[in-house]
Amino acid sequence: MQLRSVGIVRSPLNEPSLVADSGDLEWRPQISGVSEGREVISEVVIDSDLAGIADGLEDFSHLLVLYWAHHVPPEGRSLIKAHPIGRKDLPLVGIFATCSPARPNPVCAMVVRLLERKGNVLKVQGLDAIDGSTLIDIKPYNPGYYAAGDVKVADWMERIHKEFAEGLIADGDSKRTR
């Protein structure tokens, strides 16, 4: 199998918020008050030798961006189970049941809002990739293709999303008691 880098991410994020540490995950958010990084503005810079590959993307409001979480160390790629976002009050689950970048192949996918396109540079909102992340692919987000009906989500994941929405998880010191 061969993957080719098609570009790079330029982001204000310099360190990952979720890291593999001591055989589990640890939550270390770096942007205070920004729930899940949804407000972060980044640039996705497509390699110049791929001129024309992004033509037509400006007709879409959202993109699916796939990137390589390059800061995951080899030991982080060997995690089999972890507590979601490192919280011991949540169940120990297989790493594939989490959205963690700490996995055998640290491929991450994120739906982002496309704010503007200037040639090979896409300005996007909501990309949680750190600066220098390798761009693997971009696809236009099509809710008719990607959306699924009758979706079931684990109770603990619903709880995490609710806490993000309520601002209970946002800054480096979660406001909730662990």
CATH number at residue 136: 2.40.30.70
- Residues 8-19 pLDDT 10s: 999 998 887 777
- What integer best gives the mean pLDDT of the chain? 86
* pLDDT exceeds 60 at position 34: no
pLDDT of residue 35: 44
Q: Please indicate, yes or no, if residue 40 is contained in any of the structural domains.
A: yes
| pLDDT reported for residue 32 | 41
Kindly indicate the confidence band of residue 158, based on its pLDDT and cuts at 50, 70 and 90: very high
pLDDT digits (tens, 9 = 90+) for 62-82: 999 999 988 887 777 888 999
Percent of the chain with pLDDT over 90: 53
Q: Which of 105, 83, 94, 103 is nearest to 159 (CA)?
A: 83
**Whole-number pLDDT of residue 132:** 96
Residue 115 lies in a domain: yes
In a domain, residue 177? The reply is no
Amino acid identity, position 142: N
Contact 133, 11 (CB under 8 A): yes
Query: Considering its fold, how many domains does the chain have in total?
Result: 1
More confident position, 31 or 130: 130
For position 113, what pLDDT does the model report? 97
Domain that holds residue 119: 7-165
170 is a domain residue: no
Say what the pTM is.
Answer: 0.83
- Let me know if residue 173 belongs to a domain: no
CB atoms within 10 A of CB 32: 9
Whether residue 88 lies inside any domain: the answer is yes
- Arithmetic mean of pLDDT, 21-43: 69
**What single letter denotes the amino acid at residue 67?**
Y
pLDDT surpasses 60 at 31: no
The answer to the question of residue 123 being in a domain is yes
Residue 178 in any domain: the answer is no
pLDDT of 116 > 50? The answer is yes
Return the amino acid letter for 1: M
Beta carbons of 141 and 63 less than 8 angstroms apart: yes
Q: Which of 11-25, 47-61, 127-141, 146-160 has the lowest mean pLDDT?
A: 11-25
